Amino acid sequence: MKRFRLPVILSITLGILGAVQGCAGPEPRPPEGRRGPPPFSLLDQNQDGYLYLDEFRQHPIPQGTHEQIFRELDANGDGVVTREEYDSHRPPGPPPA
Ligand SMILES: [Ca+2]
Ligand SMILES: [Ca+2]
């Protein structure tokens, strides 16, 4: 009966390997509800209370260009985004339920 041991052990080992690979298969996704815009303090790198385009460019944006989004944030068009302008801006998203 010893002859059957090796294939059995092999199949068990392969089964375990397959299970381990299956567990590591799907990539972890970010939890829902964490896709909002970053806080102003994170974007304002020098913490002077004003967000400049150069600072804004340091952060990835999901869509569009930094210039485009920055213009939308800069409500009065003076080339600087204040915390008030940033907080009052709401990016387009799914309609509230
Ligand atoms: Ca700044
Ligand atoms: Ca402004």
Residues 55, 43: contact at Cβ < 8 Å?
A: yes
One-letter identity of residue 69: I
Residues of the chain with pLDDT under 50: none
Distance from the alpha carbon of residue 33 to the mean position of ligand 2, in angstroms: 28
Q: What is the pLDDT of residue 11?
A: 72
Ligand 1 geometric centre to CA of 21 (Å): 46
Residue 24 has a CB neighbour count (10 Å cut-off) of 7
Rounded distance between C-alpha atoms, residue 43 and residue 19, angstroms? 42
Give the ligand whose atoms come closest to the C-alpha of residue 52.
1
Whether the predicted model's global pTM rises above the 0.85 cut: no
| Degrees to nearest 5, angle at CA 47 with 42 and 53 | 70
Nearest 5°: phi and psi at 81?
A: -105, 120
pLDDT given at position 76: 98
Ligand nearest to the CA of 81: 2
Q: Taking Cα atoms as reference points, which of 90, 86, 64 lies closest to residue 76? A: 86
Per-residue pLDDT reduced to its tens digit, 11-32: 766 676 666 666 555 665 555 5
What pLDDT is attached to residue 25? 56
